[in-house]
Amino acid sequence: MSKSANVAVGVVIAVAALGTAGAWYTGTQLDGVLRDSIDNANRQFKSSFSGTDDSMSVELVSLERHLFTSTAHYRVNVQSKSLGKNNEKIELLFVDNIEHGPLPFSRLRSLKLLPVMASSNYEIEKNAFSEKWFAMTNGAAPLKGSASIGYDRATEGTLQLLPLDINDKDGMFKFSGLDLAVAASADAEKLKITGNMDNLQLNVASEQGPVSVELHGVTFDTGGTKGASGFYLGHSNLKVASALFQIGDKPPVLFKDFVNTSLMQEADSNLSAQVTYDIGMINYNGKDIGASQMLWKFGNFDVASTQALLHFFQEKVQPQQQAAAQAGIPFKLKLSDADQAKMNADLAKLLNAKPHIELEKISLKTSNGESHFSLAVDLKNPGPLDQPPAEVGRKMIGELNAKLLLSQPMIKDVASLQASLNGLTDPKAIAEQAQGASDMVSGMAVMTQLAKVKGENVVSDLHYANDIVDFNGQKMTVQQFFSMVTSRLGGLSTTDQ
């Protein structure tokens, strides 16, 4: 028994010694780890705000090291017109209480037994700018969080924004708080962010009258693995249970069950992406209209030229756009010969990959029908860009497909809703007005021959390739197509008069 006890005591002493040595080692490494993380963050900020008047940077103000713990102070410098008057710089101060690894006490207490380099608990400190936030949270730090840094430099942690309630001469802002969870590998090559917010209410004045916004049930997750393009590859999701918008005395618009999903992929030096927007129900002035969906697809975007053009836009185009907007003058891009040549070369490389842009579906579905439209375009290199714009545009389109379907029952549903919103209450009169709207659409299709009536649907189909347009089964040149459309629309205008 005594022998076993001696062994147990020996193990405890050995573990304590190793823990102390590990904590000491962590303390010696911490300064370099923090500075590397800050340098990486500042590079990301510089890239994100490139071409704008906004900026953000982080600096380590001080680091007090002890055997088992350290205390770090950070300064975050923010410059943004949305936060400070005259675009002045704003300082936010943070304190970080860091426990050294390999087994920080706070993690042991939570039964997290995987060794880490350090565990931190940080929060914003009160200063001249943030003191108003502290006043709204009864003195508690309005922003705080925790994080752990592994020996492989991977991090995981949480961030919490406390509820805020502002009501002053500028308007009302009520916020339930926000919770975030973040996990990232070394150098953020892999990233995952999840978050949720119960509700947000905003009421402010505008030139169009009072603006009211209400969001409820917001959740999201995003991230992925950074590809050669610098974009994060993988899925992202955003869900909003309800979103209400109202401007002035106009009727409120309510979106229920909004879902946004996206997927970005990279293969053979090309980028591809899919983006979907779903609205479970659109409600206007208290009356349900229907569900809506929009699906986008992008493919064959050359990584190198996409990066180059994005950087070119941030560095050369965006500053000129902002300067024109501030001066109140029309924007006109001015480039040097060298910049113009570089842009043309990058654009040619992008078009050589034959990028694909597709609006796969945009639809509105009511209780009795669904209407939808789709458009797909394959681009190609048109050759020299100093050709006439119309010629460049024609040669740039390799193939185009467009399809339209208008459901007559859906048209009746929308027309019935419009009639009731306009004050019509007699069911027979509403039905007659709805039928009239449906008949008008089908009648215009027949009269102009720009669409066909098939059963309860009005449909139109267009395909273009190799300078030939196939419109609802009729083949013609591009010039013949535009002449036909102009003629038939002109005839409709004459009939209306």
pLDDT in tens, the chain (497 residues): 333 333 333 333 333 333 333 343 455 667 777 788 788 878 877 877 776 777 888 888 998 888 788 888 988 888 876 665 666 788 889 998 888 877 777 776 776 767 788 888 889 999 988 888 888 888 899 989 988 888 888 888 899 999 988 887 778 889 999 999 999 888 788 989 999 999 999 999 888 889 999 999 999 999 899 888 788 899 999 999 999 999 988 999 999 999 999 999 998 889 999 999 999 999 999 999 999 999 999 999 999 999 999 889 988 998 888 888 888 899 899 999 999 999 999 999 999 999 999 999 999 999 999 999 999 999 999 998 888 888 888 899 999 999 999 999 999 999 999 998 888 888 899 899 999 999 999 888 888 888 999 999 999 999 999 999 999 999 999 999 999 988 877 765 555 54
Write out the residue range of the structural domain in which residue 442 sits. Answer: 366-496
Pair type for strands 171-175 and 164-168:
antiparallel
In terms of C-beta density within 10 A (0-12 exposed, 13-18 middle, 19 or more buried), how is residue 357 classed?
Answer: middle
- Structural domain contains residue 67: yes
- Structural domain contains residue 483: yes
Rounded CA separation 151/115 (Å) = 8
Rounded CA separation 65/355 (Å) = 54
Dump the DSSP string for 395-462: HHEEEEEEEEEEEHHHHHHHHHHHHHHTT---HHHHHHHHHHHHHHHHHHHHHH-SSEEETTEEEEEE
- Structural domain contains residue 403: yes
Last residue of one domain, picked from the residues 162, 184, 214: 162
Q: What is the DSSP secondary structure assignment for residue 252, as one 8-state letter?
A: P
Rounded CA separation 353/345 (Å) = 13
Query: How many CA atoms does the CB half-sphere of 482 hold within 13 Å?
Result: 4
- Structural domain contains residue 469: yes
Cβ–Cβ < 8 Å for 199, 216:
yes
Q: What is the model's pTM?
A: 0.84
- Structural domain contains residue 25: yes
Q: What's the total number of domains in the chain? A: 2
- Structural domain contains residue 342: no
- Structural domain contains residue 313: no
Element housing 45 (H / E): helix 2-48
Rounded CA separation 283/274 (Å) = 27
Last residue of one domain, picked from the residues 141, 162, 183: 162
Last residue of one domain, picked from the residues 162, 185, 213: 162
The CA dihedral of 240, 246, 252, 257, to the nearest 10 degrees, is -10
Rounded CA separation 331/318 (Å) = 10
- Structural domain contains residue 124: yes
